[in-house]
Amino acid sequence: MDNSFLPLKDRSFLKSKGFTYREINDGVQKGIIIDNFSIHPEGKFSSNSASLLILLPNGYPDVAPDMFYFIPALRLINTGSLPAQADQILTFHGATWQRWSRHGPPDAWRPGTDGLQSYLQRVFNALNAA
């Protein structure tokens, strides 16, 4: 039985970029976990790779994901502290994830057009800005 819930466009994108990912149903939540996600810029954080979790809201892809999560928790090397708004946790699929509270402008998501490719750009931007 196929448990896939990602739109074909997202699965094709992830495959084309060589991402290893899992589609996980955890109760009422659906999430995508990208394993061995490269953390850039290199040397800025306590780890150069992590597992990235993106929870998909009801209505996705017409509704944007909101926050994203990492295991292990990422700390800034220069201070040893957690990045701003990345100090809360979430339990998902039996693991404790570091929540990065980053919200895009409500009108920035384009239903029918945007997907994981555009959402990952938000993740990259947040890592660069941290």
In a domain, 10, yes or no: no
In sequence order, the 6+-apart residues with CB closer than 8 A to the CB of 14 are 6, 21, 34, 116
In a domain, 61, yes or no: yes
**For the segment 92-112, what is each residue's pLDDT rounded down to a tens digit?**
999 999 999 987 777 889 998
- For Cα atoms 102, 107, 110, give the angle at the middle one, nearest 5 degrees: 100
Structural domain boundaries, residue 62: 20-129
Number of domains in the chain: 1
How confident is the model at residue 92, as a pLDDT? 97
In a domain, 2, yes or no: no
How confident is the model at residue 104, as a pLDDT? 77
**For the segment 50-78, what is each residue's pLDDT rounded down to a tens digit?**
999 999 999 999 999 999 999 999 999 99
Of all residues in the chain, what percent carry a pLDDT higher than 90?
88
Q: What share of the chain is helix, strand, coil (3-state, %, to 5)?
A: 20, 30, 50
